[in-house]
Amino acid sequence: MDNEVMKSVPSVHQGRRCGVCPRACCIAQGEVGFCQARGNVDGVITCVNYGKITSMALDPVEKKPFALWHAGAHVLSVGSFGCNLACPFCQNADISQAGIEDIRSKAMEPEEVVKMALDERDRGCIGIAFTYNEPLIGYEFVRDVGRLAHNAGLLNVVVTNGMINAKPFAEVLPLIDAINVDLKGFSSRFYSFCGFDGLGAVKRTIVAAAGCNTCHLEVTSLIVPGESDPDEMEAAAAWLSSIDQGIPYHITQYHAAYDMHRTAPLPDSEVRAYADRARAYLKNVFIGNM
């Protein structure tokens, strides 16, 4: 069946099981899973957003954010559509909560993406960042572009929610030079608020990335008014320190968006208080979006 006519609704009846993330969607022929990026095509679970680029920009690495990796350099950021979470505060909901029929995209082969990054070298581009929507639900595209990028002397960056199963992550991790994992919160409660309790998978992703000597790891937590909890975020910092006290940890200020567009940010002083509690455990704590 043509990917273009697949239904943008999850299957609720018998189908094929997707093994990319802990949702383990059972997807019937011609339908897609929750993320809207993986579908059942002729009985095979397929990455239906493969090479479908919705967003592209040359960004400074600090914007990803990375604080302790190639400061001053740029990366070619590329995004597609879909996500396996449904955070009501998402800053990129127009693409992350979209399916193939909801948004315009440009089909690009991995070779084209790599060539575009190489063409930007004179503007300080050192590699390619997979970002904007959740890139690892389409890990095959990250893998294929990543291999070509390394062959061309480029670096690969992934900005992710980290909710991916161990096997597909192990396939792509050796190709990732830097990863920023968005640690939404540190409880089943908070992850349920984001649409699915995938905290266990996110923690495994962070541990795996921290243990990879060819991948630089940074972690980000957004402070969401009425939902983020100071004790919970302190526990997150304590857990990260048990892995490595040097992990850069970004505490970022929320800005009204998506289903929380009427919710005001916390005062800057409260965001700083979160960061101060994290500094009791971690050496490199940064405040963003303020």
Q: What is the pLDDT of residues 244-269, one digit of tens each?
A: 999 999 999 999 999 999 999 999 99
Please indicate, yes or no, whether the overall pTM of this predicted structure exceeds 0.85: yes
CATH number of this structure's domain 49-288: 3.20.20.70
pLDDT value at residue 9? 35
Task: Kindly report, as residue ranges, where domains of CATH 3.20.20.70 are found in the chain.
Answer: 49-288
Instruction: For 110-144, write each residue's pLDDT tens digit.
Output: 999 999 999 999 999 999 999 999 999 999 999 99
Q: What is the mean pLDDT of residues 178-205?
A: 98
Give CB contacts under 8 A, 24+ apart, made by 55-63: 55/79, 55/92, 55/95, 55/132, 55/133, 56/116, 58/120, 58/123, 58/125, 59/129, 61/126, 61/129, 61/157, 61/178
